Amino acid sequence: MSLLEARGVTKELAVAGAPPARILDGVSLSVARGEFVAITGPSGSGKSTLLYLLGGLDHPTAGEILLDGRNLAAMDDEALTLLRNEAIGFVYQFHFLLPEFTALENVMMPILAGGRTTRKEAMARARDLLGEVGLADRLDHLPRQLSGGQQQRVSIARALANKPLLLCADEPTGNLDTANTERIVDLLLTLNRTMNQTVLVVTHEGSVADRAGREIRVVDGKVAS
């Protein structure tokens, strides 16, 4: 069975004084556990919209999105938030780390939000995760004391905090230079290979897509190939 399956996913947005705009039009796709998939396509084609729907950040207008057999499209906001916290990790183009908290605290937060671990356990796990992304010596740094590439690695550690079934990333290297882009892609590939982490990454960069196991191309709100 697929880990993630989208069936006929459509997204329309209301436009004042005009018919609704159809951003996604009947998208169907499936992703197996342990796959590394790149979502590519022209600017404005609907990649981010698709990723947000697949990652439970938004509701489709029509269609089904099954994650591990559970239909995200049928969940209310509360159920979706719970599912997201336990099963989905997100990395964005901008890191969205909390500026007044250290790297360690930023990674601890989603672990503590689950309410099932002590502070000590959360700290140990956050420390391990930051070690895995190569930041063992930056635990107590604030986001502004880290480079762009390091900030993005903290974001990845944070996204992995609750061992998500699915790791989603929207242009995670969009703000980075070539060397840091390579490092982030290496890291995502390593997580995929060593932890069998399923990864879904939206990217403009051919170099990222080339290294993914599979590419899903979105054009005009439809899966083109």
Residues that bind ligand ATP (CB under 6 A): 13, 23, 41, 43-49
- Binding partner of 173, given ligand ATP, Mg ion, none, CB within 5-8 angstroms per partner class: none
- Binding partner of 49, given ligand ATP, Mg ion, none, CB within 5-8 angstroms per partner class: ligand ATP
Q: In the complex, what is the shortest distance from the CB of residue 170 to ligand ATP, in angstroms, rounded to a whole number?
A: 7
The DSSP result for the chain, as a single string, is --SEEEEEEEEEEEETTEEEEEEEEEEEEEE-TT-EEEEE--TTSSHHHHHHHHTTSS--SEEEEEETTEEGGG--HHHHHHHHHHHEEEE-SS----TTS-HHHHHHHHHHHTT-S-HHHHHHHHHHHHHHTT-GGGTT--GGGS-HHHHHHHHHHHHTTT--SEEEEESTTTTS-HHHHHHHHHHHHHHHHHH--EEEEE-S-HHHHHHSSEEEEEETTEE--
Q: In the complex, what is the shortest distance from the CB of residue 191 to Mg ion, in angstroms, rounded to a whole number?
A: 22
Q: Tell me which residue has its CB nearest to Mg ion.
A: 48
Q: In the complex, what is the shortest distance from the CB of residue 121 to ligand ATP, in angstroms, rounded to a whole number?
A: 37
Q: CB nearer to ligand ATP: give 45 or 181.
A: 45
- Binding partner of 199, given ligand ATP, Mg ion, none, CB within 5-8 angstroms per partner class: none
Q: CB nearer to Mg ion: give 48 or 173.
A: 48
Contact footprint for Mg ion (CB under 5 A)? 48
